[in-house]
Amino acid sequence: MSIEYAAFYRGKITLTELGDHRFDLFLSSLNKSVRVRTLEQAITATRKLWIVHDEYCYTEAELSGLDVAYAPHSHSPAESWAQILSGLGNPVNLAGLDLGIDITGMMRPHIAMLPYALAKAGAQTVTVFYSDPDSYVSGERTEFTRGPVRHVGLIPGMEGGHSITTSPRDALIIGAGYDNDLVKAVADDKPNAEHVILLGLPSLQPHMYQESVLKLEVASESIQDYYLRDARIFAPASDPFATAQVISDKVHALGELDHLYLTAVGAKPQVLGFAWYYWCEAAGTHTSFLFPFADGYERQTSNGIATIHEYRLELDAVRRPDLTP
């Protein structure tokens, strides 16, 4: 199946321009980052709903006065999305709603499941936002996770069966970022697969590519053929649709595989790109989405707000294995 990823809309928008459009519903994941709070304040919407992730460890007292939807731990993001959306109606029906979502503070497994969850709930189109940071609070030493990786596993609902080919080859494509512990965990979990690292280039900010490479070096012993040119691919860190195209091209170049594993632990737009590739091309095939699950994440890891990106997901492109006879 050939997808024209370049045809999907992506652009940049200012804080002033954000207020010119009114959404029926706006969803954003609550954390302490200036860029999350600033964007939410600039948006005009009939209803704004904060998604509260367990991993950020908010208390009831901290949430007083906010319109919130609770997102249980991301081990099962499909169930978590069902709970988030359940407060919008029973049954949930997003058809016809002008829907906006900020993924800046969202847990990566929830981003991975987002296209399918919204399509299943009846949404046809959704506008997704992501705001770049000026920098991370401690550069390449910034800590994103709280505590160790508890386990590496497939995201429920994003598991594929093994192929019926005679190929014994598996491949693992890792969308890498600053968190080398997450990269190491997934690479160690699939030591016999062919490893491919996808890096964000251009990066969100000019200095971030070098910082992320420095972090990746720490995990290099776990990555098969780390220094081989063919083991690295590149896509703009802020462009999910270019990311999806790069993944698609690489999968075709890899040839016949028994199983393909995807994991995205880098910038959130690239996570969305991995998800978009999976749901547009790979759902229901011998492809699975792998993730290193940690107990918690830091609420504030960045300084300032730089460019705001806008993406439009046309959800009729999403493959729905649940509707397959």
CATH for 280: 3.40.50
Q: Please check whether residues 123 and 161 belong to one and the same domain.
A: no
pLDDT of residue 148: 84
CA 242, CA 147: separation in Å to the nearest integer? 33
Q: Please check whether residues 223 and 111 belong to one and the same domain.
A: no
Q: Please check whether residues 109 and 156 belong to one and the same domain.
A: no
Q: Taking residues 288-307, report their average pLDDT.
A: 93
On the CB side of 123, how many CA atoms lie within 13 Å of its CA?
25
Indicate whether 77 belongs to any domain. Answer: yes
pLDDT of residue 154: 96
Q: Tell which wins on pLDDT, 239 or 301.
A: 239
Whether the predicted pLDDT of 278 surpasses 50? yes
Across 153-167, 186-200, 202-216, least confident range: 153-167
Q: Taking residues 126-142, report their average pLDDT.
A: 87
Range of the domain at 60: 5-134+303-320
Whether the predicted pLDDT of 319 surpasses 80? yes
Whether the CB-CB separation of 285 and 321 falls below 8 Å is answered with no
Q: What is the pLDDT of residues 88-107, one digit of tens each?
A: 877 789 999 999 999 999 99
Q: Please check whether residues 234 and 100 belong to one and the same domain.
A: no
Total H helices, total E strands in the chain: 8, 15
What is the band of 325 on the pLDDT scale with cuts at 50, 70, 90? very low
Whether the predicted pLDDT of 232 surpasses 90? yes
Q: Taking residues 204-213, report their average pLDDT.
A: 87
Whether the predicted pLDDT of 312 surpasses 90? yes
CA 244, CA 88: separation in Å to the nearest integer? 30
On the CB side of 51, how many CA atoms lie within 13 Å of its CA?
31
pLDDT of residue 73: 79
CA 48, CA 164: separation in Å to the nearest integer? 47
User: Residue for token digits 């207020």?
Assistant: 19
C-beta neighbour count of 9 within 10 angstroms: 12
